[in-house]
Amino acid sequence: MQISVYGDTLCAQVTATALAQTGHDVYWYVTDMGAWNALEQGAAIYKEPGLRFLLEEQRRSGRLRYRLYEESKRLNDSRVVFLAVQPGKVSLLESIVAHHAAMPAFELAVIQTVCAVGTSERLRDELVDSGSRAELAVMPDMTQAGRAYDTFTRPDCILIGHENEEARVLLCEIMRPYVRTRDTFRHMSLREAEFARLASSGILATRISFMNEMAQLAERVDVDISVIREALAADSRIGSAYLYPGCGFGGPGLSGDVMSLVDTLQGYDAHAGLLEQVLAINERQKEVLFRKFWQYYGGNVVGKRVVIWGASFKPGTHRVENSPALKVIEALWAQGVQVAVHDPLALPELSRWADGRGDLELYKDQYMAAADADALMLFTEWKQYWSPEWARLRGELREPLILDGRNIYDPVFVRSQGFQYKGVGRI
């Protein structure tokens, strides 16, 4: 089947690659020239485990072709179109749908882009007004950075919003290779699919911020939040997912979804107090390691040197959007602190972010980055950080202070190695 995928998002990259891998003839249209240049040079737009190899494999097979968005206006007679553009780009969605409405082979538009509730209904109405007999469905982007290919090809569930049987059957057929072991489809209306996507992000963000509030309280009442977390996780009504306190969540997805949900609530004159607090708590939590650093030195931090391990907003990705590390780097700069950073993937992105803002020392070796540092701050729990060479690290640091923003270390063991240890909600 000929399928077109639009967008330069992670969702678009994964969708195009996965659909080509299962035998479809896929045209992938990107809207950003930087993304196009990366693809032309043989790179992937997003660095995800194993994805670059799969992407190149599908391009060599001839089943996946890259195009600039402008080329779609004179080419393209695809039967199905997946729209995975940047969130909120409604005018772009409208333009793509309007273009395909005139194509005789066009049968189905699948909206993956996260948009305000009601957007898909407006696109459906425009499709009907054009005289096209094509249908529209919503399959919200549920990919997770760091494991995007797995979340697309081994989904826990697939939300599908549709209004008729033809759209349901066609979309389920396309996704059939990924659901052979069990039925993971959840069918609902267009509007319900949009809302469900935002609501799921709201719950996850709320759980994270709740645990971060509890971590602050745990420090004050002298209990270990890890013990509390295990007790909560053992309760079948609660479960273990997203109960890990830390230095806050980042990335473009979760934060953006919660803000979109807040806007939706306010747009319908509904009170968004809880979610506004969730976002406020998260922004405060991003600075927790800076506050611990400041307190340790009694505010005398000018001229100190800090090494940061992990700048991406989560392991497995090079992306730094809304990463807690960024906020702390700015706070350290403001206090005259020298900052060195190591990250397995994110250094090029971090360099672009820092350009014009301040000076960063970027290292490819995590131990060289730690040389003569007055504190080590861990923001991203990359696997290579879990079991460092403690003796070597102790020898590199000027002050053996570890500020663990993800609680990946055992405080008792780390202290036995000669370090001062401070986690989040730990004693």
pTM: 0.86
* Pairing between β-strand 108-111 and β-strand 135-138 as defined by DSSP bridges: parallel
Per-residue DSSP letter, 197: H
How many other C-beta atoms are found inside a 10 Å radius of the C-beta of residue 23? 11
Greater confidence, 40 or 341?
341
Q: What share of the chain has pLDDT > 90, as a percent?
A: 73
Residue 74: pLDDT over 80: no
Q: Which domains does the chain have, with CATH numbers?
A: 2-188 (3.40.50.720), 196-284 (1.10.1040.10), 287-422 (3.40.50.720)
Mean pLDDT of 234-254: 91
Cα distances (angstroms) measured from residue 262 to each of 272, 279, 288: 6, 10, 25
Note the pLDDT of residue 29.
94
Residue 272: pLDDT over 90: no
The C-alpha angle 323, 321, 26, rounded to 5 degrees, equals 135
Mean pLDDT of 14-39: 91
Distance, CA of 120 to CA of 115 (rounded, Å): 8
DSSP states of 30-74: E--HHHHHHHHTT--SS--TTHHHHHHHHHHHTSEEEEEGGGGGT
Average model confidence (pLDDT) for the chain?
92
Note the pLDDT of residue 257.
82
Residue 332: pLDDT over 90: yes
Residue 183: pLDDT over 90: no
- The string of pLDDT tens digits covering residues 390-415 is 999 999 999 999 999 999 999 999 99
Note the pLDDT of residue 50.
80
Note the pLDDT of residue 176.
93
Distance, CA of 69 to CA of 81 (rounded, Å): 13
Note the pLDDT of residue 39.
85
Q: Label residue 349 by pLDDT band (50, 70, 90).
A: very high
Q: Label residue 73 by pLDDT band (50, 70, 90).
A: low
Angle, helix 190-221 to helix 119-129, in steps of 10 degrees = 160
Q: Label residue 267 by pLDDT band (50, 70, 90).
A: confident
Note the pLDDT of residue 292.
97
Note the pLDDT of residue 273.
85
Residue 76: pLDDT over 70: no
Residue 67: pLDDT over 70: yes
Mean pLDDT of 340-349: 96
